Amino acid sequence: MSSSESSQLPNIDLSNCRDLIIGGDAAQVLDRLPAGGIDLIYVDPPFNTGSTQRLASIKAEQDASSSRTGFGGRKYKTTLVSSHSYRDSFDDYLGFLVPLLEKSFQLLSSRGSLYVHLDYREVHYVKVELDKIFGRTNFMNEIIWAYDFGGRSKQRWPAKHDTILLYAKEFGKHIFNYEEIERIPYMAPGLVTKEKASRGKVPTDVWWQTIVHTTGRERTGYPTQKPEAILKRIVEASSTAGSWVLDFFAGSGTTACVSQQLGRRFIAIDSNPQAINIIKNRLDMTNVQEISC
Ligand SMILES: C[S@@+](CC[C@H](N)C(=O)[O-])C[C@H]1O[C@@H](n2cnc3c(N)ncnc32)[C@H](O)[C@@H]1O
């Protein structure tokens, strides 16, 4: 669809609609949203790893006639239950992402914030572009999400963190619910008073959080799914009840799911029909409308 065709699509009136799941290209959908209406945008774009992100879910069942031998010499067969993927390779990554970040600035309310979740490949280039769009005085944090799981390189330090850049639309007016942030234990509780130790501390900009467990409750089978705990911290801190929360690289719908749990309104956009199906299965759809662009 050309941009002139997308501009002919009707605009979305947020004052008069339910929560939204939108299947389509972010570049076209964002043009239909009203400026200044969103309090929180969290995006976790493709990281430009140079390959396709895939995740297959396989079920193993005992089957005496199978040639596969597993634990205890038992025979079993495997069946492919589901397979999800999306493209993660761009010749011009900034050309793809920067127009969407410029649009994000327009969509945010004056008390709004943008979180952009990246890894070491593109984060520095994107930071420079975001400084131009938001102004360096509105840059708030470089949050490090540290985990310790998966393969380990033996040729360099194993890369075990992502970076989340945080910008305010207008620093000082932005929502930051300091008192509502869930506290965590001190690393060295013996160094603070008993009272402080039992209260815990507000997290710093380094967040230790394990990845979504392969057999965990929140696992959807979608590749690169992010933990609800990360989104819960973001949504609780940077939006209020009734705020509109937008994620235009929604994937399995983690942002939408957490927003729904916390009583926020949400717009989840993804160009991959597999992602849209997963989001619909993950959410209570009572007050949610689905649109395809
Ligand atoms: C890293 S994943 C997001 C994962 C998500 N945070 C989660 O917790 O499941 C990035 C998503 O961006 C989507 N995507 C890529 N290009 C897009 C575009 N132009 N418009 C909308 N979605 C896009 C992909 O389909 C993929 O689902």
Q: Domain spans of the chain?
A: 3-50+89-292, 56-85
pLDDT digits (tens, 9 = 90+) for 215-243: 788 999 898 999 999 999 999 999 999 99
Contact 264 CB / ligand 1 (< 6 Å):
no
Nearest atom in ligand 1 to the alpha carbon of residue 278 is 9
The pLDDT of residue 5 is: 44
Contact 265 CB / ligand 1 (< 6 Å):
no
Distance 255 CA to ligand 1 centre (A): 12
List the residue whose alpha carbon is closest to atom 25 of ligand 1: 272
> Element (H or E) spanning 23, and its range?
strand 19-23
Token pair, residue 49, equals: 């790893």
Architecture of domain 3-50+89-292: 3-Layer(aba) Sandwich (3.40)
Which residues are CB-contacts of 285 (< 8 A; sequence separation ≥ 6)? none
Q: What percent of the chain has pLDDT over 70?
A: 89
Is residue 214 very low, low, confident or very high in pLDDT (cuts 50, 70, 90)?
Answer: confident
DSSP3 helix / strand / coil % (the chain, rounded to 5): 30, 30, 40
Q: For residues 259 and 265, what is the distance between their CA atoms, to the nearest angstrom? A: 7
Which residues are CB-contacts of 275 (< 8 A; sequence separation ≥ 6)? 84, 86, 222, 250, 251, 252, 253
Three-state SS for 235?
helix
pLDDT digits (tens, 9 = 90+) for 25-84: 999 999 999 999 999 999 999 988 877 887 776 555 667 776 655 556 666 565 666 688
- In our burial notation (b when 16+ CB lie closer than 10 A, e otherwise), range 18-42 reads ebbbbbbbbbbbbebbeeebbbbbb
Contact 26 CB / ligand 1 (< 6 Å):
yes
Contact 112 CB / ligand 1 (< 6 Å):
no
106: left (phi over 0), alpha (psi -120 to 50) or beta: alpha
> Element (H or E) spanning 59, and its range?
strand 51-62
Distance 244 CA to ligand 1 centre (A): 19
Least confident range from 98-102, 164-168, 204-208, 289-293: namely 289-293
Residue 271 has pLDDT above 60, yes or no: yes
Contact 274 CB / ligand 1 (< 6 Å):
no
Contact 23 CB / ligand 1 (< 6 Å):
no
The pLDDT of residue 293 is: 81
CA atoms within 13 A on the CB side of 222: 24
The β-bridge relationship of strands 139-146 and 206-208 is parallel
Contact 224 CB / ligand 1 (< 6 Å):
yes
Q: For residues 163 and 124, what is the distance between their CA atoms, to the nearest angstrom? A: 10
Query: Span 196-204, mean pLDDT?
Result: 96
| Contact assessment for residue 238 and residue 171, using Cβ atoms and an 8 Å cutoff | no
